């Protein structure tokens, strides 16, 4: 009996799954189908490489449009400025981590003085703004003998328009992208920088360019695709939205202005050709109105007031939604992009800021690796001889950035104390959150404590005076007042 069953099942299996009866299942993806409904939407999709898609003409068009929008759109300008200020702030601060405390202090002190002499924080903010609207920032390291610093290293910024190869043919070698020459392993060898800006109005355009070694060039951009050699504007996806925002705003203003310019509209109930004699003579076509007076229209005519229907109730909603979408490509929350937190409470503000601050930390880490470390190596190469530092084999270091102020300092201080008491953090980490060097702060605190002991002051006496309640504002200085305000919002 079991043999018969095995024979039956085996025979069925061979008949069903035999080579002659194999059935191929073809799976389909809806997004891969081209239909009459989505044909026009996907018409511009292509299979170009990263460098081919971002060719010279495409990058120039995007740069020009992004610059125009940033120059003329208040929101675009504010977003780019805010991004540069939040990423760079007052500038990075260097902390050396070598075994020699004297070397650390010398390098830190002299690097801060040099950074102030060359205006490094300002140049870094300019580079971040250029990356946002141009897609990339370029800086050339060179020797400036007129620099008021023992170290003559300087940083010269050039616009992306100048980094190009004017004689690069369409059939150029694969190791060359517009303005950049690569070696066989994909490492930049040299950059081609035009001697004058192609858009310069006073100087005639010249095709002459300088060949800048890769060791002297800093190229800061975000590679969104593998193999991408040149950058695209960070605000590129938002450019059409900026245009829609401005057009909609101007349309609303024009509609409201048109309604405000017309005081009255005269409409008649008379049949065609039955107008009064005054109207036929043109006597009642224009009526001057006085305040607190009654108007008697000609026979058969009735005055009607124009109603201003702009801006509509959907105007504010449209602006908020559009601005939120614009800022999304920069990981920036709405209240920072709009500089308006009226619709936020404490929890939602903190939640939105977490994503934004994480993006800022990523940006700062990228800046350290691509820009700051390159500048530090070049500076140390010259400073070692100037200050007699010798051969620095150990150049361990870290960068500090401006900290982000907490919305509720009391709660943050309490949480900080708990982390320190539970050994889940260190003073170095907590000071780094504020953009401070823990060693410098402890030395400063030691000086303050020593001076307080010398003057016979207790720590409580040395604290800044707190605001005291007044007759006009009895709640001034009360920490609960700030909490109540957030709760009410």
Can you state the angle between helices 56-72 and 239-261, rounded to 10 degrees? 40
pLDDT value at residue 257:
76
Mean pLDDT of 5-21: 51
Which CB contacts under 8 angstroms, 24+ apart, belong to 52-56? 54/228, 54/230, 54/231, 54/232, 55/178, 56/164, 56/178
Res. 255: pLDDT tops 90: no
Q: What span, in angstroms and rounded, lies between the C-alpha atoms of 472 and 173?
A: 77
- Most confident region among 192-206, 276-290, 332-346 by mean pLDDT: 332-346
pLDDT value, residue 406: 65
Query: What CA–CA distance (Å, rounded) separates 64 from 160?
Result: 11
- Lookup: tokens for 248: 């909609």
| pTM for the model | 0.75
pLDDT band at 351 (very low <50, low <70, confident <90, very high): confident
Return the SS3 of 81: helix
pLDDT in tens, 130-172: 999 999 999 999 999 999 999 999 999 999 999 998 886 644 5
Distance CA 21, CA 23 (A): 6
> Do 178 and 219 form a contact (C-beta atoms < 8 A)?
no
Q: Which candidate, 183, 201, 241, 179, places its Cα nearest to that of 54?
A: 179
CA dihedral in degrees (106, 111, 112, 116; nearest 10)? 140
pLDDT at 282 over 70: no
Give whichever of 81-95, 334-348, 381-395, 425-439 has the largest mean pLDDT.
81-95
**How many whole angstroms separate alpha carbon 35 and alpha carbon 409?**
57
Query: What pLDDT is stored for residue 484 in this prediction?
Result: 44
**pLDDT tens, residue by residue, 405-448:** 666 677 777 878 888 888 888 887 777 777 777 778 888 888 88
- Rounded Cα distance between 447 and 478, Å, is 31
pLDDT tens digits, one per residue of 292-323: 566 666 666 666 665 656 666 688 888 889 99
Bridge partners, 264 (sequence order): 305
Q: What is the DSSP string of 241-309?
A: HHHHHHHHHHHHHHHHHHHHH--EEEEE-SPTT---HHHHHTSSS-----TT----PPTTEEEEEPP--
DSSP classification of residue 237: G
The maximal CA–CA distance of the chain, rounded, in angstroms, is 117
Q: Over 70: is that where the pLDDT of 391 sits?
A: yes
On the CB side of 185, how many CA atoms lie within 13 Å of its CA? 1
pLDDT score recorded for residue 224: 94
**Count of residues making up the chain:** 489
Structure tokens at 170: 């369409």
How far, in Å, are 15, 23, 29, 35, 332 from residue 26 at the CA level?
22, 10, 10, 19, 43
Task: Pull the structure tokens for residue 381.
Answer: 């190469």
What distances in angstroms separate CA 436 from CA 93, 94, 399, 433, one per listed residue?
8, 10, 10, 7
The pLDDT mean for the chain works out to 81
* Among the ranges given (16-30, 87-101, 351-365, 421-435), the one the predictor scored with the smallest mean pLDDT: 16-30
How many H helices and E strands in the chain? Answer: 16, 11
DSSP string, 302-327: EEEEPP---S-THHHHHHHHHHHHHH
pLDDT tens per residue, range 75-102: 999 999 999 999 999 999 998 988 888 9
DSSP assignment of 136-196 equals EEEEEEEE-TT-SSSS-EEEEEE-GGGB--TT--TT--TTEETTEEE-TTS-EEEEEEESS
Listed residue (237, 161, 248, 242) closest to 198, CA to CA: 161
pLDDT at residue 228, as a whole number: 93
For the cut 90, the answer to whether the pLDDT of residue 256 exceeds it is no
Which pLDDT belongs to residue 36? Answer: 87
Mean pLDDT of 62-66: 96
Contact between 352 and 333 (Cβ < 8 Å): yes
Take residue 398 and report the two structure tokens written for it.
Answer: 């870290």
Q: How high is the pLDDT of residue 448?
A: 83
Q: What is the pLDDT of residue 174?
A: 67
């Amino acid at each position: 009996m079991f043999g018969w069953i095995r024979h039956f099942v085996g025979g069925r299996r061979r008949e069903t799954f035999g080579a002659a009866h194999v059935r191929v299942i073809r799976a389909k993806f809806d997004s891969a189908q081209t239909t009459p409904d989505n044909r026009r939407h996907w018409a511009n999709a292509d299979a170009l490489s990263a460098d081919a898609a971002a060719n010279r003409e495409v990058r120039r068009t995007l740069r020009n449009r992004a610059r125009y929008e940033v120059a003329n759109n208040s929101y675009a300008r504010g977003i780019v400025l805010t991004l540069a200020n939040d990423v760079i702030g007052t500038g990075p601060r260097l902390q050396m981590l070598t075994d020699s405390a004297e070397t650390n202090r010398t390098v830190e002190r002299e690097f801060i003085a040099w950074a102030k002499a060359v205006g490094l924080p300002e140049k870094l903010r300019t580079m971040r703004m250029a990356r946002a609207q141009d897609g990339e920032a370029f800086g050339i390291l060179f020797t400036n003998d007129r620099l008021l610093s023992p170290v003559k290293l300087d940083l010269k910024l050039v616009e992306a328009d100048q980094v190009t190869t004017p004689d690069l043919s369409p059939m150029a070698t694969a190791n060359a992208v517009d303005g950049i020459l690569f070696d066989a392993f994909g490492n930049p060898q040299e950059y081609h920088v035009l001697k004058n800006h192609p858009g310069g109005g006073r100087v005639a355009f010249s095709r002459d360019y300088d060949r800048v070694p890769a060791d002297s060039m800093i190229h800061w951009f975000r590679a969104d695709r593998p193999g991408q050699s040149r950058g695209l504007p960070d605000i590129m996806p938002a450019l059409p939205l900026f245009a829609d925002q401005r057009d909609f705003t101007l349309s609303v203003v024009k509609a409201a202005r048109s309604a405000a310019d017309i005081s009255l509209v005269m409409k008649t109930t008379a049949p065609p050709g039955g107008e009064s004699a005054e109207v036929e003579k043109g006597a009642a076509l224009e009526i001057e109105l006085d305040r607190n007076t009654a108007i008697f229209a000609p026979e058969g005519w009735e005055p009607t007031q124009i109603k201003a229907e702009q801006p509509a109730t959907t105007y504010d909603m449209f602006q908020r939604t559009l601005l939120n979408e614009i800022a999304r490509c920069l990981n920036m929350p709405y209240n920072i992009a709009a500089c308006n937190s009226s619709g936020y409470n404490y929890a939602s503000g903190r939640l939105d800021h977490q994503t934004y601050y994480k993006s800022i930390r990523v940006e700062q880490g990228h800046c350290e690796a691509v820009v700051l470390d390159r500048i530090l190596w070049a500076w140390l190469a010259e400073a070692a001889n100037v200050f007699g530092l010798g051969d620095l084999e150990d150049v361990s270091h870290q960068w500090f950035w401006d900290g982000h102020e907490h919305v509720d300092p009391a709660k943050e201080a309490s949480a900080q104390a708990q982390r320190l008491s539970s050994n889940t953090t260190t003073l170095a980490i907590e000071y780094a959150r504020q953009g401070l060097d823990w060693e410098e702060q402890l030395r400063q605190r030691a000086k303050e404590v020593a001076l307080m002991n010398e003057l016979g002051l207790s720590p409580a006496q040395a604290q800044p005076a707190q605001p005291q309640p007044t007759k006009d504002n009895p709640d001034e200085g009360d920490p609960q007042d700030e909490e109540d305000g957030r709760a009410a919002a």
